[in-house]
């Protein structure tokens, strides 16, 4: 049974109110909100090229889904349109999935607009062009080939973008797209994790032999540390791959990567940005990792056959959402984001303890998933 005391509607209405304020703040409708520094009020804006550009239109689509109000649809359409140039050129990196699927993917799901379908299919094919069959994964960051001397590199975040390939494989794209996504997930499962099922951020491969060279970090504390959002991407990614493949290996693995994350969380279930950072109690949190994990656990709990374990995952997800919905994490007294306290790229000194748009996106997704579960339970 779900914890029914938590009233999603109140928090979804909060998201509506906050997003309404953000819209009023946006200057000319051509730029997209990305982050707000601590104690500031105004969003820093980016253009469609930024890896986070899909999350704001994705939020708008989900608010349309929640409210059924065409005013949100019209805003979602507008901000989705800004991303169209991404599908008219070869993918620069794996982020095309985050950009296009988390925005126009919702647009297509909710409207069935055939123009959106074309954009998604083109984007999926261009993402697939980064696949190296010798390695069995997508080259996540072409720019790092020279810059870091990482001749073929795959990052754990890339798991999320397999969803675009699976979708395209089911919706008129080449069947190879599905096979590439499965192969990428298998190779990642075999090479990206330590004995204890914690993930490396980056794995570097030899592009000619396909051999793994090393596991390293880019956004984590150390090569061997557990970067919180990386593990969140793994939890979300393998849960989604199980949904798309029905292959029990992925369900089993999704649970393994989840269990180690849950075991190592602090009491309030919101991770510090890296589980292994020194002097951990003084480190900034990453609410974005908590939000993505909460959303993923609601999905995972629906697939796990062991009723007790399923209830455990659901309960953990609800508790994470509850903590994110407390004053300590909500932005309402400071700015118009939904959540405070995310960490983008600590080693770079960027977005430390910020409000960040993808935290809001996954928080809203988690609230909507919980809301649907509660509604279903009320009807059953």
Site for ligand GLY in 358-377 (CB under 6 A): none
Q: How far is the CB of 98 from ligand GLY (least distance, A)?
A: 7
Q: How far is the CB of 154 from ligand GLY (least distance, A)?
A: 13
Q: CA-CA distance, 358 to 360, in Å (whole number)?
A: 5
Q: How far is the CB of 203 from ligand GLY (least distance, A)?
A: 15
Q: Is 50 a catalytic residue?
A: no
* Residue number with CB closer to ligand GLY (57 or 220): 220
* Residue number with CB closer to ligand GLY (80 or 219): 219
Contact between 229 and ligand GLY (CB under 6 A)? yes
**Cβ pair 107, 115 in contact under 8 A:** no
**Cβ pair 145, 218 in contact under 8 A:** no
Q: How far is the CB of 106 from ligand GLY (least distance, A)?
A: 19
Which residue in 157, 274, 353, 360 is the catalytic one? 157
Q: How far is the CB of 309 from ligand GLY (least distance, A)?
A: 27
* Residue number with CB closer to ligand GLY (229 or 369): 229
| Helix locations, 106-154, DSSP H | 106-111, 114-128, 143-147
Q: CA-CA distance, 153 to 213, in Å (whole number)?
A: 10
Q: Is 157 a catalytic residue?
A: yes
Residue linked to tokens 């995952």: 313
* Residue number with CB closer to ligand GLY (77 or 93): 93
Q: CA-CA distance, 93 to 139, in Å (whole number)?
A: 7
- 272 burial class (0-12, 13-18, 19+ CB within 10 angstroms)? buried
Strand pairing report for 355-356 and 137-138 = unpaired
Site string for ligand GLY, 327-346 (x = CB under 6 A): -----------------x--
* Residue number with CB closer to ligand GLY (210 or 347): 347
Which residue in 39, 47, 50, 95 is the catalytic one? 95
Q: How far is the CB of 345 from ligand GLY (least distance, A)?
A: 6
Which tokens belong to 287? 């609410």
Which string of b and e fits 306-333 if b means at least 16 CB within 10 Å? eeeebebbbebbbbbbbbbbeeebbbee
Q: For the chain, where are the E strands, in sequence order?
A: 32-36, 44-46, 131-132, 137-138, 152-155, 202-205, 212-216, 355-356
Site for ligand GLY in 131-190 (CB under 6 A): 157
Q: Point out the residue whose Cβ comes nearest to ligand GLY.
A: 157
Q: CA-CA distance, 375 to 3, in Å (whole number)?
A: 12
Site string for ligand GLY, 50-69 (x = CB under 6 A): --------------------
* Residue number with CB closer to ligand GLY (121 or 232): 232
Q: Name the residues that contact ligand GLY, by CB under 6 A.
A: 157, 219, 229, 344
Q: Which residues belong to the active site?
A: 95, 157
């Amino acid at each position: 049974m779900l914890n029914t005391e938590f009233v999603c509607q109140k928090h979804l209405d909060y998201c509506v109110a906050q997003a309404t304020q953000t819209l009023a703040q946006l200057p000319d409708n051509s730029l997209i909100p990305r982050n707000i520094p601590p104690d500031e009020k105004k969003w820093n804006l980016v253009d469609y090229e930024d890896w986070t550009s899909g999350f704001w239109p994705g939020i708008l689509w989900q608010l349309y889904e929640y409210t059924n109000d065409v005013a949100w649809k019209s805003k979602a359409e507008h901000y989705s349109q800004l991303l169209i140039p991404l599908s008219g050129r070869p993918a620069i990196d794996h982020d095309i999935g985050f950009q296009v699927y988390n925005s126009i993917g919702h647009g297509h799901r909710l409207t069935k607009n055939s123009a959106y379908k074309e954009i998604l299919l083109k984007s999926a094919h261009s993402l697939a062009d980064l696949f190296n069959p010798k390695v069995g994964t997508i080259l996540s960051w072409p720019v790092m080939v020279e810059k870091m001397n990482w001749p073929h590199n795959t990052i754990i975040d890339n798991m999320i973008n397999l969803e675009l390939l699976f979708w395209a494989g089911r919706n008129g794209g080449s069947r190879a797209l599905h096979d590439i996504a499965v192969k990428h997930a298998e190779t990642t499962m075999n090479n990206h994790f330590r004995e204890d099922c914690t993930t490396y951020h980056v794995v570097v491969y030899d592009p000619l032999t396909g051999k793994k060279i090393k596991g390293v970090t880019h956004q984590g504390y150390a090569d061997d540390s557990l970067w919180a959002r990386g593990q969140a991407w793994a939890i979300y990614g393998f849960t989604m791959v199980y949904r798309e493949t029905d292959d029990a290996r992925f369900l089993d693995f999704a649970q393994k990567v989840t269990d180690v994350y849950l075991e190592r969380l602090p009491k309030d279930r919101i991770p510090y940005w890296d589980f292994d950072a020194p002097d951990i109690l003084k480190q900034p949190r990453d609410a974005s990792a908590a939000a993505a994990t909460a959303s993923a656990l609601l999905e995972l709990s629906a697939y796990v056959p062991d009723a007790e374990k399923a209830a455990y995952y659901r309960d953990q997800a609800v508790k994470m959402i509850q903590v994110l919905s407390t004053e300590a994490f909500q932005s309402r007294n400071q700015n118009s984001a939904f959540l405070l306290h995310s960490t983008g790229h600590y080693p770079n000194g960027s977005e430390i303890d910020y409000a960040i748009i993808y935290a809001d996106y996954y928080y809203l997704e988690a609230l909507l998933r919980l809301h649907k579960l509660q509604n279903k339970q009320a009807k059953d």
